[in-house]
Amino acid sequence: MENFALISLAAELETAARGMVVRRIVQYSDRGFLLETRTGRTPGLKLSMDPRNPVLYISGARPPVDRTGSDFLLTLRKHLSSARLIDIHKPLSERIVELRFRTALPARELETVTLVAELFPNAPNLVLLDSGRHILASMATRAGRGLEPFGAYRYPATDKTDMAAIEAGTSWFPEEAYARFRRGWLVRYLAGACPVLAAELVHRQDRSGQSLPDVLEALLAELSAPSATAWLYSAAPLAVLLERNDLNALRRAVASPIELESLRATHSLSTYPGMLAAVRALHDVLDERTHLERLKAPRLRVLRGLRRRAERRRERLLERQRQFQDAVGLGETAALLVSSGVAMNTRRRSVDATDYTRTPPATRTVELDPARTVRENIDAMFRKQRKAVRGLGIIDERLVELDRAEARLADDEERVRALSDWNAWHAFADGSRSRPSPGADSPRRPTAARDSRKLRARSVVVHGHEVLIGRNGRENDDLTFRVAAGDDFWLHAADYSGSHVVVRNPTKRSAMDAPLLERAAQLAAYHSQARNAHTVGVHYTQRKFVRKPSRAKPGRVVLRQFRTIQVAPRDWDGVET
């Protein structure tokens, strides 16, 4: 996102997000963090540090993917859990937004902390500062930036002119240098002037005939004024880009708090009620599609590899086919030798024979293997001819099978490329997982009807219901995907490693009673890393909404839908209920 759009976006964030209390921090991608709240007006503050298009905005949406948290996430949780956002500051000429929080920590230097979002393209970063603006942690360490822990934080050094300098007059503006390069000069020497803003400044100056400082001052005043409308410019209508799944074009879309006259003739236009709405409409779907493409990438690589193998196999078959086609003519050569009248038991290097099948008859010289007799050469030619005839039939069959296999691979690749939403992805992933593997002769084992006595899982009876508790990652997988039925209830501590807990549901009820839910959740919280916590959030759902990601570690799952209950950890094993 360009700097001029961030000016207006930060102003709207200041109004909409100030006072929000961070209840939970989630890392939904390698470079994406979501600071969740419990209010509907501000569901969460999303920080996407994608190097191609970094941005922050208000949203509660995150792709339903299983992601291992980083060390930086743990630092954010330590300092920002239950923190209140008290101030948002954005330097005029920097693509930087500072979020200042009042924390719940007792240390004086940590009473307030600042989360600095450096939204530089190709090198975005998040830096956490204490109240003295010393670095507590950095998402990425940049060589030469001085982002070592406990060091003083400074903005990146630059030799560009700050936009605030235009208020002092025109002494900063070299007219001759600007007249030579115009847009290039603005991008190179004016801080905060990115290509889109530079093109707009030049366009407005040409249209109005005013000096550049006057045009720039008027444009900055327009950007600073509150606006009830935001404009989103894209190379084609958004519906078309989404249908094509053209993520590169979506990333090049420009959100603006003002009308950009320089893009009016070349771009499609959509309007929204404010910058936050425009950014959310674009980046929520962009985040979702980006993460979906990352999940699709391994499958596409496998399919492309299979297609390359099929192409190499086709080349080998065609080469063999050409060899067999050449060998088919050996039968005519052998028949010519038989009718040549030469002694069959002699050894020759070549034989001159008259070919009467041609008009007029012609003499042909046939090269022979001198280590063999003429008869042995003839027999070898006939054997090769018969083998070639059989081989051509086999190769034709294999080429037909290869055509079908390549068509299936192309269809599968097209299906994967066409997946554009999570429901379609889950349906495809479940279908491909339930499909039997090629060449499997034995039937698949049932996944939900295995006798639980064969599993080394702890069993507890709570309010007359059998509750099963896993002991480790592999046992959790067995319990969830081989023992539990689809209608059984499933529980797990939120944000902590722990045991999978399954409550048997033979009557196939749609929900647990409140006392049973509370005690099962307490068991899940007790058998987790949050055993000593005061209260723990526990996710609960039915087993049919739990799935295992491809190549995930033992015990790691993804929930399609779930609810959360807050309970105190307690062990009900051996307690009469």
Q: How confident is the model at residue 371, as a pLDDT?
A: 92
Is 80 exceeded by the pLDDT of residue 165?
A: no
When pLDDT is cut at 50, 70 and 90, the band that residue 441 belongs to is very low
| Confidence band of 131 (pLDDT split at 50, 70, 90) | very high
pLDDT at residue 167, rounded to an integer? 56
Res 329: pLDDT = 87
Q: What is the pLDDT of residue 228?
A: 86
Q: What is the pLDDT of residues 513-569, one digit of tens each?
A: 999 999 999 999 999 988 888 899 999 999 999 998 887 888 889 998 999 999 999
At 520 the pLDDT is: 93
pLDDT at 290 over 60: yes
* 84 and 29 Cβ atoms separated by less than 8 Å: no
Supply the pLDDT for residue 305. Answer: 93
The pLDDT-based confidence of 177 (bands split at 50, 70, 90) is: confident
DSSP annotation of 165 reads: G
- At 299-355, the pLDDT tens digits run 899 999 999 999 999 999 999 999 999 898 888 888 888 888 888 999 989 999 888
Q: In what order do the strands lie in the sheet with 55-58?
A: 24-29, 32-36, 44-48, 55-58
Query: pLDDT tens, 77-114?
Result: 999 999 999 999 999 888 999 999 999 888 888 999 99
pLDDT class of 439 with cuts at 50, 70, 90 = very low
Residue 446 confidence (pLDDT)? 41
Please state the three-class secondary structure of 95-142 as a single string. Answer: CEEEEEEECCCCCHHHCEEEEEEECCCCCCEEEEECCCCEEEEECCCC
Please compute the mean of the pLDDT values over residues 225-231 and round it to a whole number: 86
List the single range of 56-65, 233-242, 252-261, 503-512 with lowest mean pLDDT.
Answer: 56-65
Return the axis-axis angle of helices 330-338 and 374-418, rounded to nearest 10°.
170
Secondary structure (DSSP) of 306-328: HHHHHHHHHHHHHHHHHHHHHHH
**CA dist., res. 448 & res. 262, Å (int):** 62
d(CA 174, CA 190): 11
Confidence (pLDDT) at 142: 66
* pLDDT score of 145 more than 80: no
Report the C-alpha gap between 13 and 537 in whole angstroms: 29
What per-residue confidence (pLDDT) applies to 452?
Answer: 42
Specify the higher pLDDT residue, 192 or 64. Answer: 192
Is the model's pLDDT at 444 over the cut of 60?
no
What CA–CA distance (Å, rounded) separates 269 from 232? 6
pTM of the predicted model, to two decimals? Answer: 0.63
pLDDT 10s digits, 195-225: 999 999 999 999 988 888 888 888 888 887 8
Distance CA 432, CA 302 (A): 13
pLDDT at 360 over 60: yes
Query: By CB neighbour count within 10 A (0-12 exposed, 13-18 middle, 19+ buried), where does 90 fall?
Result: buried
| pLDDT of 13 | 92
Which position has the token pair 């300092």?
A: 79
**Residue 430: what pLDDT?**
67
More confident residue, 173 or 20: 20
Mean pLDDT over each residue of the chain, to the nearest integer: 86
Per-residue pLDDT, 277: 93
Cβ proximity of 45 and 34 under 8 Å: yes
